A and B are shown apart, each in its own frame.
Chain A
Amino acid sequence: MSANPNAPAVELVDLKVGFGKVEVVDGVDLRLERGQAMALIGESGSGKSVTLRAILRLFPEGRSRTRGKIAVAGRDVLALSKRELADFRGHVAAMIFQEPLLAFDPVYTVGRQITEAIRRHEKIDAAGARQRALALFERVRIPSPERRLDAYPHEMSGGMRQRAMIALALACRPQVLLADEPTTALDATVQIQILLLLRELQRDLGLSIILVTHDLGAAVEVADRISVMYAGRIVETGTAHQVVLDPHHPYTIGLLRSRAEGALAKEVDGKRARLQTIPGSPPDLANRPAGCPFAPRCFLAIDKCRETPPSVEVGGGHLAACWRTEEASAAYRAGPQPVRAEAAA
């Protein structure tokens, strides 16, 4: 069924997505190998969700422009016809949304929505599809699954709805799972359960996962690789280990330093230590500064930063788009408050 079994799960080459005059995603290159989990992190407006949605071609054609190359499991997504696209969505790549209450149809039971998806893609009778849905509910560990299949979305709790959403995404055995902030709306105690479930699914089903999140902690829990986005570009990519413990881009460093758990020294001269922050705010995407978009806020910016920086390889598969990766890395290592994880309770 697969076009090319050796092709990477997802490959984006110079992806650009624009709405009106604004180029929200501005040249993203990304490669996700099969069975890998990647986290795409960034702040609001960085283009991370848009990148993810572009992979399923979720944007209306008239009001958006998508250029570049999107290949999922060897298929050229931008070349798919309408009918092929409908087969592709859910069957090859499926998506989990942030707010399952909005993503589910409120007037049908959850079970019916899952069986509908299965029967759209496969020749199977209603009883067989329900059996599959039940197995999926057990897979994502929904308690009393038989009864929950007949529940409406509003009758479930937030964590359970997100599990049902994952079951729906897995209904047609996709190879690629795209998760758009799946745990942002959940309590921390439920979030960790969902993150562990995603990791387990990746391992057991050989899924390739792209997780979009603004939470570095959630990214580290799930992802093998982390890509950091800023103003529509990927500024740093590498293994979770490389990006979190040995960052080479000033923006990544700023993100790590601004986290509250980084402030270890609580009292300095009787005064509470302050958090290190990134000055300013993200650029207006309609008037993007020339060159590196992070330069106006960067503590290492020099004149050369007005030219677009290349992605420099700083070590086995670890890329950073910066002219001054060496200095950035040195500054991080010399930093007064290196971020280390704290021992779990």
Chain B
Amino acid sequence: MSVIVQPADLAIAALRDRGGPAQPLLSVSGLVKHFPVRKGVGGKKSVVRAVDGVDFQALKGETLGIVGESGCGKSTTAKLLMGLIERDQGEMLFDGEAVGSRAMPWRTYRRQVQMVFQDSYASLNPRMTVEASIAFGPTVNGVGSREAIERARGLLARVGLEPKRFAGRYPHELSGGQRQRVNIARALALEPRLILLDEAVSALDKSVEAQVLNLLLDLKAEFGLTYLFISHDLNVVRFICDRVMVMYLGRVAELGPSDTVLAEPAHPYTQALLASMPSLDPDNRTQAALLTGDPPNPIDPPDGCRFHPRCRLAEPVCSQATPPLAPIAPLHQAACLARQPGSGHSLAPAAEQVAA
């Protein structure tokens, strides 16, 4: 990176890339977050199981996509990773060090992990110019104010906003695409290694979305970033992600290379998600929806496999046994009893027939 190294940066530089390229950048196991809720005044207490035992790894330099319907826990996962809400259980290792331990305190960790949110307007301070917003993080972390402004201007230029024209503007003077570029520049200001993009392009028009996606690709190559890309748009995920993780009701349903998962999905839920994408071929329009009804409520999720009430492959065993996330091919994991030998599901042994 081109920015001049300051004493404060040396601490970060020391933490850069410890375990080498094979060490996962972020390794999450058994992540749990439950929210207690009360129905009505004095009503009975219940628990929203927003994230209920999630394990995954983000490898260095990859883009990992997280997809799923609303309520599946993808945004909660991002907030947990960022430390914006406290996890109930689970362990997070960042480049081999437990987050929150002495070797990797939250403050050091947060400098290396940044987040871009969906609502580009709400995530910027309306009373600060974009330049001041971008420079804020570095200033707080010990970079001199003149130098922080310098850095902010450089980043603005890098994300395609001419500093002369845009540095002094306020968020309301920018279009949605420009604001999202500012948010990306701000996320880059501390030279992070991991960026969480929570529906970062979902609110943009298609042609602007394409520009921002290209920008993300360029920045990733230039700064050697790792992305965690949360989206509901499978086409965008297919385009930008190396691996994809499909979540359903707080659990991981399927995890694997995006080409494989989105071309030959192993989990019936992934298949249903893919089938609900509009076809874009007037001669071959979608005839029937594979899933009926709305995504279920994460309060009181069903026993066994959480997808079984909506699943077309469901059998009695699915309501009793919880399927583990098990490998079905190298690098490809799915949590479905129909794909796991010896699970008691009638389709289980001949796994290949399911996809047909």
Q: Which residues of A contact B (CB under 8 A)?
A: 43-44, 143, 157-160, 187-193, 195-196, 199, 214-218, 220-221, 239-241, 244-245, 254-255, 258-261, 263, 266, 271-272, 274-278, 281, 339-341, 344-345
Other-chain residue from A193, A216, A345 in contact with B206 (beta carbon distance below 8 A): A216
B233 touches A260 (CB 8 A): yes
* A217 contact set on B, CB distance < 8 A: 277-280
| Given A187-B69, A188-B234, A263-B239, CB of A221 within 8 Å of CB of B289 | no
A220 to B273, Cβ gap below 8 A? no
Residue of B nearest to A223 (CB): B282
Question: What 12 additional pairs, Cβ within 8 angstroms, besides A187-B295, A260-B209?
Answer: A159-B293, A189-B272, A190-B69, A191-B278, A192-B289, A196-B289, A215-B206, A220-B281, A277-B211, A278-B207, A281-B177, A344-B275
Contact A259 B235 (CB under 8 A): yes
Give every chain A residue within 8 A of B176 (Cβ-Cβ).
44
Could you tell me the distance between the alpha carbons of A191 and B265 in the complex, rounded to whole angstroms? 21
A139 to B70, CA, bound (A): 26
- Residues B278 and A193 in contact, CB atoms below 8 Å apart: no
Within 8 A of A (CB), among B235-255: 235-236, 238-240
Cβ–Cβ < 8 Å partners of B214 in chain A: 274-275, 277
C-alpha spacing A306/B271, complex, angstroms: 49
Interfacial chain A residues near B207, Cβ < 8 Å = 43, 254-255, 258, 277-278
Contacts of A159 in B (CB 8 A): 293-294
Is there an interface contact between B281 and A340, defined as CB atoms closer than 8 Å?
yes
Contact of B265 among A258, A275, A345 (CB under 8 A): A345
Q: How large is the interface on B (under 10, 10 to 19, 20 to 34, 35 or more residues)?
A: 35 or more
Is B205 interfacial (CB-CB < 8 Å)? yes
Contact partner, B279, options A143, A214, A278, A344, Cβ 8 Å: A344
B residues lining the A interface (CB < 8 Å): 69-70, 175-177, 205-211, 213-214, 217, 221, 232-236, 238-240, 259, 265, 270-286, 288-289, 291-295
Among B217, B275, B281, the residue within 8 A (CB) of A341 is: B281
Q: Is there an interface contact between B69 and A221, defined as CB atoms closer than 8 Å?
A: no
Question: Which A residues are in CB contact (< 8 Å) with B69?
Answer: 187-190
Inter-chain contact A193/B289, CB cutoff 8 Å: yes
Q: Report yes or no: B236 in contact with A260, Cβ–Cβ below 8 A.
A: yes
By beta carbon, the residue of chain A nearest B201 is A260
What B residues does A187 contact at CB under 8 A? Answer: 69-70, 232, 294-295
Give bound CA distance, A328 to B70, whole Å. 40
User: For residue A240, which residue of chain B has the nearest CB?
Assistant: B282
Contacts of A192 in B (CB 8 A): 275-278, 286, 289
Contacts of A254 in B (CB 8 A): 207
B205/A44 in contact, CB under 8 A: yes
> A residues within 8 A CB of B205?
43-44, 214
**CB closest chain-B residue, reference A159:** B294
CB distance from B72 to the nearest CB of A (A): 9
In the complex, A264→B156 CA distance in Å?
31
In the bound complex, residues from chain B placing their C-beta under 8 Å from that of A240 are 282
Q: State the CA gap A217–B276 with chains docked (Å).
A: 11
Residues of A within 8 A of B211 (CB): 277
Whether A220 pairs with B239 at a CB distance below 8 angstroms is no
Residues A195 and B278 in contact, CB atoms below 8 Å apart: yes
A277 B295 Cβ-Cβ under 8 A: no
Question: Which residues of the partner chain B approach A215 to less than 8 Å between Cβ atoms?
Answer: 206, 278
Residue in B closest to A46 when the chains form the complex, CB atoms:
B205
Docked pose: A80 CA to B171 CA in angstroms: 42
User: Which residue of chain A has its CB nearest to the CB of B310?
Assistant: A189
A339 with B272, Cβ < 8 A, contacts A277-B207, A278-B207, A281-B175 known: no
Shortest A70–chain B CB gap in Å is: 27
Q: Are B280 and A158 touching (Cβ within 8 A)?
A: no
B238→A261 contact, CB < 8 A = yes
A196 to B285, CA, bound (A): 10
Select A196's contact among B206, B286, B294, beta carbons within 8 Å.
B286
